[in-house]
Amino acid sequence: MNNSSYLSRISATFALVPLLLLNCVNAEEKADEVARTIAKAANYIYFRSFEQDPVVDSFTKNELETLSKHLGPLNSLIRGAIGVQHSIGGAMLMAHFSLKDNFDYLRSTMLAPGRFYGWEGSYTNDEDTFYSDEQYVYHSKYLKAIEKLMNAPLHEVIILNNRERKYILDISANPNHESYHWSIWIGRKLRIF
């Protein structure tokens, strides 16, 4: 190899160095962007209120694209949240990304009386008030997420086994039970009454 050709190759190689460095910087920036987006999703998933903005209002188009490329970590976060606490954000992300892997967690959360929300307004015996979705703020959000995720009404998606049916029926037979109203509400949604 002559000197001229050798110098040409070295020059070409050194010309690539800025591109390689730029790729490394871009990869590091991309990794930071992914980490920030996953952290934002974790915050959304573990947010404990029932009043949560829709997914498309909470994340940018780029963030949603990033999350769609990292569904494994997203699924793990959702499973952890729904397994131990209410996670409206987790349910909403499951529905948005059609993540059915954690459906059993969401299903069991839907079938448990869970956290109660205080009745608003004056006390009334009006059934429309007692059994409106607004009174079951967590469960009604789960209901919407399940129906979107499974693309079917709740009573077609959740088929109760005998133990679950008996549990709801037993509670609904006792007006003094703290979950009596919930059992009537969920029973109606599941069409067992």
Q: What percent of the chain has pLDDT over 90?
A: 50
Residue 83 pLDDT greater than 70, yes or no: yes
Half-sphere exposure of 168 (CA within 13 A, CB side): 23
**Cα–Cα distance, 73 to 91 (Å, whole number):** 15
pLDDT in tens, 46-55: 887 777 899 9
Tokens of 27: 């990869």
Confidence at 116, pLDDT banded by 50, 70, 90: low
32 compared with 9, residue with greater pLDDT: 32
Q: What is the pLDDT of residue 129?
A: 76
Q: What is the pLDDT of residue 5?
A: 53
| Domain residue spans of the chain | 1-108, 125-193
H or E element in which residue 101 lies: none
More confident residue, 94 or 116: 94
pLDDT tier for residue 18 given thresholds of 50, 70 and 90: low
164-184 pLDDT, tens digit per residue, is: 999 999 999 999 998 998 999
Q: Hey, which bits of 12-112 come out as E strands?
A: none
Query: How confident is the model at residue 131, as a pLDDT?
Result: 84
Is residue 82 within 8 A of residue 105, CB to CB? The reply is yes
Band of pLDDT at residue 133, cut at 50, 70 and 90: confident
DSSP-derived secondary structure for 2-38: -HHHHHHHHHHHHHHHHHHHHHHHHHHHHHHHHHHHH
Whole-structure pTM value: 0.78
Six token digits for residue 141: 């959000």
Mean pLDDT of the chain: 83
